[in-house]
Amino acid sequence: MGIQIAYFPGCSLHSTAKEYNDSIKASFGSLGVELKEVPDWNCCGATAAHSLNESLALALPARNLALAEREGLPLFAPCSACYHRFILANRKLRSDDELLLEVNELIDPLVYKGGTEVRNILEILVEDVGVKTIKKMVKRPLKGLRLVSYYGCLLTRVPHGQASDDTENPVYMDKVVEALGAEPVPWPSKMDCCGASLNLTEEAIVCRLSSHILDNAQAVDAQAVVTSCTLCQLNLDMMQSGTKPEYNHQAGLPVFYISELLALALGHDFPSGQWKKHFVDPKGVLEKEGLI
């Protein structure tokens, strides 16, 4: 197929979301998408930078955009939060020459000219690879698996512009789920907020928001949740972990990364350590449907 992309794993794919990183590498390898890791990438700045210092919120992503530009490749950020920071910084830098000049002074000796395209995992799967191709490559259809697609906040919410997928009712993840042979179940919490990084500072809020999402997944008889965001995965999974009195939701719903299901359907066999990185062990559901 010959798709090459500059891969920006971001900090969480090397720690709390290692299973996302491993499954992206496994599944993209099977799809023939070549991931070239952005050399010497740095943290995007996340909520901290844009909350306290706008210059950092522009310069930290800009350094990575410049590094990807040198490779002449689009930048793939699997974490929704990183993706959104890149999209926002890129839009600002591309529409304001004076600002681009100022930010280039901040990242000197690197130079960003504004030429890097930013992609998320669903855009790559649906627009670059294509669901028809994915469907053809499925070796182990996820038949019978009832999944709710959980997009979270940031994939389609672009200020003053239009995302590729629908802003209020995105369908890209459902399309991929369907291509893998599973059943995407309609539900009302596709785009609801899990509370994101407030999980460390305002637990009560995150409990309320994440529990509501799990309630809605239960109400439509889903067997599991599928997501592409590291904070969404962590919050929904953690909420069912029993590690704190508040984190005691009884749904028992595994929360998969889309890449884990993709790799599984493409015939990849994970080492057992993959599932140990989940609070709610997905093995029960996968065994029941004869998938492992």
Partner 1 sequence: MKQSERIQISDGSVVDQGFTQQVIQLTGEEVMSCFQCMKCTNGCPLAPEMDVPPNKAIRYVQLGMRDAALAADSIWICATCYTCTVRCPNDIDIAHVMDTLRRMAYQSQGDATTKSHIVHFHELFLKSLKEYGRVNETKLLAKYELREGRFLKDAKLGMKMFFMGKMNIFPQKIQNKEQIEKIFERASKRKG
Of positions 63, 119, 190, 249, contacts partner 1 by CB under 8 A = 63
Stretch that binds partner 1, among 56-64, 70-78, 175-183, 259-267 (CB under 8 A): 56-64
Stretch that binds partner 1, among 7-15, 125-133, 138-146, 249-257 (CB under 8 A): 7-15
Neighbours of 54 (CB within 10 A): 11
Give bridge partners of residue 9 from the DSSP assignment: none
Residues of this chain, 129-188, that bind partner 1 according to CB under 8 A: 153-154, 156-160, 167-168
* Residues near partner 1 (CB under 8 A), total: 64
Of positions 205, 218, 283, 292, contacts partner 1 by CB under 8 A = 205
Q: Between 67 and 182, name the residue whose CB sits nearer to partner 1.
A: 67
Q: Residue 20 interacts with partner 1 (CB under 8 A)? A: no
Q: Between 220 and 241, name the residue whose CB sits nearer to partner 1.
A: 241
Of positions 1, 36, 53, 267, contacts partner 1 by CB under 8 A = 53
Of positions 31, 33, 122, 209, contacts partner 1 by CB under 8 A = 209
Q: Residue 195 interacts with partner 1 (CB under 8 A)? A: yes
Q: Output the smallest distance, CB 277 to partner 1, in A.
A: 5
Q: Residue 197 interacts with partner 1 (CB under 8 A)? A: yes
> In the complex, which residues of this chain contact partner 1 (CB under 8 A)?
11-12, 14-18, 40-43, 45-56, 59-60, 63, 84, 102, 105-110, 153-154, 156-160, 167-168, 191-193, 195-198, 200-202, 205, 209, 238, 241, 243-244, 247, 273, 276-277, 279
